[in-house]
Amino acid sequence: MFTQRHFPVFPTIVAFAVLAVLCCGSAQAQQLGGPLPNLDPQEAKWYTAGQKMFFRLWGVKEGLGPVTTDGGCVRCHKSPVIGGGAARLSTYFGLTNPDGSFDQSYLGGPFLQPFGTVVPPSCTIPGEIIPAGATVEKRLTSPLFGFGLIDAIADADILNQVTFELNNYQADGIHGMANMELDYHSPPLLRPGRFGRKAQQPTLLQQVSSNFAHDLGITNPLVPLPDCSQGNCSINANCMLPPDPNSRNTTSNGPGILDLSHYERFLAPPPPPIPGQPGQAIFTSVGCIECHLPSYHTPTQVFFDIDLKGTQFGPSPSLSNQPVNLYSDLLLHDMGKLNAGAFPANTLITAQATQQMWRTTPLWGTSVRTVFWHDGKTKDIPSAILQHSPDGTGEAAAVIGRYKALSPSDQAALIAFVASL
């Protein structure tokens, strides 16, 4: 049913041809890249509409540009199936000044958009290059599986996990922190972030709108200002297409970001691991679960926005009362000096997270990944485990010490379990 709500409700605790088959039944829904089981008929329609948007390659007449990272969502999120991630890295840049201050907007930062656009008949807008002296950070493209379930987790449950870790994992030095950010509602609510490498986005719609604007250059109600090549927005009038092709997204309820958010909202997660593996018990005893929390659970009734006016749909049969077996607490943890990022806190790509803080990466889908870590620096699971504390610093130091003390066979069992997720 549809309800009018001015504040969200937070209870505490592939191809188009096969879409009709994938939408029906729990067995088919286990196929990676398919939708969640138990979709309401209206949810199935939204999923289909969003999937078309996701597959779409955009043009300048539809608002692409003036600079982009590519021409469509599907170009980056396609491994091992559509909706997944890729070994492709995103590049961010800014300028660290001599006095230690940081300019995230330096010559078009913080997003490097290497591709410009060509406006008919012959006006070319150049793509960006990394300017001299820039501070650079790389981040791996993330898979989108299960994003709707993550979005549905109650804020209170994430915040309760902060308290739980502080009270129970002091001996190991584990103490996750929520990256608190304002959401898009009016008035905005301060909520724990859950999307992005730094948990810098508190809602799925904000994550989608940021990608829509900064990767495709398509402005929308939540990100209304375009990025310009190297920060130069003095674009020749002959390069502008009147009226602004983005205006339908800027002045309306933002059909682009809403459609895309529905596709990601109903994209099924990877199937849970086979129970009873010996490595699962070792994963627990070593302490990996202290940050890689095996599961959250969504509230008994989940509602979600279907416009930007407060109208919601729900309770959702596909999102309500569901396990979220993501193997992450969604909190920030200090990963040590050698894992420090280049960008300081209080930027668009970090929010409140410091350089050494990173959100616990969900492990679901590890079985289909080929590179690991936030910047793709590790190529196998054993290397990724050791990268948690390569210099003995950071919150993971005690847990990694116990991992190193395991017998070779126990290490192999733990690795096999992680590889099955």
Percent of the chain with pLDDT over 90: 80
Contacts of residue 165, defined as CB under 8 A and 6 or more positions apart, other chains included, come to 174, 175, 176, 290, 329, 331
- Mean pLDDT (the chain) is 89
Model pLDDT, residue 411: 98
Residues β-bridged to residue 96: 102
Mean pLDDT of 341-361: 97
Mean pLDDT within 281-290? 98
91/61 Cα distance (integer angstroms) = 26
* C-beta separation of 361 from 385 below 8 A: no
The pLDDT of 85-106, averaged and rounded, is: 95
The tens digit of pLDDT for each residue in 220-259 reads 899 988 899 999 988 877 777 665 555 555 544 567 899 9
Confidence of residue 9 (pLDDT cuts 50, 70, 90): very low
| Measured CA distances, 236 to 117, 119, 149, 240 (Å) | 13, 11, 44, 7
Termini Cα distance of the chain: 35
Q: What is the pTM (predicted TM-score) of this model?
A: 0.91
Q: How many helices, marked H, and strands, marked E, lie in the chain?
A: 12, 16
Whole-number percent of the chain with pLDDT over 70: 90
- Segment 164-208, tens digit of pLDDT: 999 999 999 999 999 999 999 999 999 999 999 999 999 999 999
